[in-house]
Amino acid sequence: MQYSEIMVRYGELSTKGKNKKQFIRQLGHNVRHVLHDFPKVETFPRHDRLHVVLNGENSDKVIDRLKQVFGIENFSPSIKVDKDINQAKQVALKLLNQQYHAGMTFKIDARRQDKHFPLDTYGVDNALGSYLIDHIPGLKAKMKNPDITIRTEVRLNGIFISSKTIDGAGGLPVGTGGRATMMLSGGIDSPVATYLGMKRGVRIDMVHFYSPPYTSQQALNKAKELTAKLSVYSGKINFIQVPFTKIQETIKEKVPEGYLMTIQRRLMLRLTAAITLKRHCKGIFTGESLGQVASQTLESMVAINDVTNLPVLRPLLSMDKTEIIKIARKIGTYKLSILPYEDCCTIFTPPAPKTKPRLDNSRKFEKFIDVDGLMKDALDNMKVTTIRPGDEFLNSNQDVFSELL
């Protein structure tokens, strides 16, 4: 069915009092970004609803994208007809037929903004209801809990008819909760942590460390592809890639084996903290889950977290791996995450990293390397790109191939 417009209802926003206006503006902005590759779509955020006018774009694809935008409670795809009750009747019949099975009940729910329309709401209810009952044998009307509700709105610019309400993703519009950075490795956990952060309205900038030639171009592309997957929830995401080769080599050379991992993580967090402050973000998200690996014990967290007093937010802290995987599957990042490209967390790992590193030792060993110089070098060479829904990185040769296939 080709719809002409989608009516979006807000979720938690309606409780936000004076901030409501800002929230709606942000949601409108996000929806526009999420639908950036549908050039004909127009969005109109209003105080009660947000209207997405399709202008002929494929409604199924737009619906799929909208399902994932945080801050949407639910939405109804609707068909616009001229202000002519006969046209409305036919469309209502078509919509009903799509969902109708023998024995189902229905009701018409009419509203009228245009008070000059000759029929009032009862008139519209009556006209459409009786038309449907005449044309579908056995159809019964029911006012309380009908199987199908045909919503009809007579507005100044036409009549809008819809028969379905589709659930949205809930949560808050990304951007209303401020900005933070995310340490994205490319594993299973960090995309899930990103998702959970965004769900509460935080705009996330991805920070990804890469170490060529120890890590491959594919590992970097995989992180970008994951970012593209996650961008459907917010519209777009800034991706910051930070070169880490030199730091890792220096640490490997100068730091005792047991503390390799701890010092590496301290440097990663130092760099992320510097980026966070520079970009006016307010916190750092990580995909850490307590006790999962050596760097994620409480002792390790003390030793690593020591380098910054920015809040380090860990949405997965108390989750089991199975719970995390479940969410990863739901948001579609799992299959990407398990692609076997080494990332910089897995190279240079000592056979037995300290699970209980000591803070004083960590501080001491870090002094063996030129922290400031190495950091400056890495920050000078970092690169920021903007990633949007639908961008592809793992199959970068697609254009060449499209001619072959």
Partner 1 sequence: MIYFDNSATTKINSGVLDTYNKVSQNIWGNPSSLHQFGSEAHNLLTQSRMQIAKLLNVSPGEILFTSGGTEGDNWAIKGTAMIKRKFGNHIITTSVEHAAVHNPVEQLKKLGFEITYLPVDKNGRVSVEDLKKAIRPTTILVSIMAVNNEIGTIEPVKAIGELLKKYPKITYHIDAIQGVAKGLENIIFNDRVDLVSFSGHKFHAPRGTGFNYKRDGKKIAPLMAGGGQERGLRSGTENLPGIAAMAKAFRLVMTNEDEKVRHQRQIKSEIFNHIKKFPNVIIFSKNDDTFAPHILCFAIKGVRGETVVHAFEKYGIYISTTSACSSRDQSVTSTLSSMHVDSSIAEDAVRISLDENNTIEEAKKFNQVFDQLYQQFSKLS
Sites of contact with partner 1 (CB under 8 A): 216-218, 394-398, 401, 404-405
- 296 labeled binding residue: yes
Cα–Cα distance, 401 to 405 (Å, whole number): 6
Nearer to partner 1, 15 or 402 (CB): 402
Least distance (Å) between residue 396 CB and partner 1: 8
- 116 labeled binding residue: no
Residue 235: count other Cβ atoms within 10 Å of its Cβ.
24
- 177 labeled binding residue: no
Nearer to partner 1, 214 or 368 (CB): 214
- 206 labeled binding residue: no
Helix/strand/coil for 384: strand
Cα–Cα distance, 171 to 177 (Å, whole number): 11
Cα–Cα distance, 299 to 360 (Å, whole number): 12
Least distance (Å) between residue 342 CB and partner 1: 11
Least distance (Å) between residue 329 CB and partner 1: 12
- Record the tokens describing residue 39, joined without a space: 């050039």
End-to-end CA distance of the chain: 30
Q: Torsions phi, psi of 8, nearest 5?
A: -105, 130
Q: Using the structure block, give the residue that is written with the tokens 């949405």.
A: 315
Cα–Cα distance, 6 to 277 (Å, whole number): 39
Least distance (Å) between residue 401 CB and partner 1: 5
Nearer to partner 1, 352 or 404 (CB): 404
Least distance (Å) between residue 404 CB and partner 1: 5
- 375 labeled binding residue: no
Residue 49 CB partners (closer than 8 Å, separation 6+): 7, 8, 9, 10
Nearer to partner 1, 223 or 310 (CB): 223
- 184 labeled binding residue: yes
Nearer to partner 1, 130 or 396 (CB): 396
The binding site for ATP comprises 183-184, 208-209, 265, 287, 296
